[in-house]
Structure 1
Amino acid sequence: MKPGYVYILANKPMGVLYIGATDDLARRVSEHRQGSQKSFAQHYNCQRLVWFEEFENIHDARAFERKMKKWNRAWKVNRIVMSNPQWRDLAQSL
């Protein structure tokens, strides 16, 4: 089974956050940047990949995505700041 990823996009540091899950992170980030789909991320210009985590399979990733979407904002921001305090765009490292 393919690995899965949960990711967070932001429009700027401490800005609007979008959480998603995918089996191909590089492709999905590229789709967000191209604006190929009308979505929350496109509407708020969330294109900066600020956090992601890899899972053994896409089912585990989707389960964690659903769980994470229920978190309050402070928990999500803390998760980002712990691994990426500068809110750098991590897409170049993919």
Structure 2
Amino acid sequence: MKQPAIYIMASRRNGTLYTGVTSNLSERIYQHKQGLIKGFTSRYGCTSLVYYEFYEEMVPAILREKQIKAGSRRKKLELIESLNPTWRDLYLDF
């Protein structure tokens, strides 16, 4: 499904976080989970999708990703817990 989205991956509850943007969320998360994307997520074991937002266009998604990345860790944790208080892997919903 091609639709712009921002997402946050975690290594575990309150663990290492990664924020990204994509045009195909289910495909990108699959790539992270399988270790197909070398870099931060594979190095730190960020394999659990804990937060996401869909957008109609890519530009607002990119702006939102930058806003989240610029925020504090506390704000990221609050954002995750507002949607996903148990830190469940939301990839299971796809």
Q: TM (normalized to structure 2)?
A: 0.94
Equivalent residue letter for 2:11: N
Q: How many residues align?
A: 93
Q: Which residue of 1 aligns with 2:79?
A: 79
Matches within 5 A, 1:4-83: 4-83=4-83
Does the aligned pair in 1 maintain the 2:3–2:25 contact within 8 Å? no
- 1:29-84 Cα distance to aligned partner (Å, 9 max, x none): 00001111221011000000000001111121111101110000000000000110
Unmatched 5+ residue regions in structure 2? Answer: none
**Cα distance in 2 for residues equivalent to 1:17 and 1:77:** 9
Residue aligned with 2:13, SS? coil
**Cα distance in 2 for residues equivalent to 1:58 and 1:3:** 8
**Cα distance in 2 for residues equivalent to 1:33 and 1:21:** 16
RMSD value, Cα: 0.9
Runs of 4+ in 1 over 2 A off after TM superposition: none
- Identity fraction in percent: 37
Equivalent residue letter for 2:13: P
**Cα distance in 2 for residues equivalent to 1:59 and 1:3:** 12
Unmatched 5+ residue regions in structure 1? Answer: none
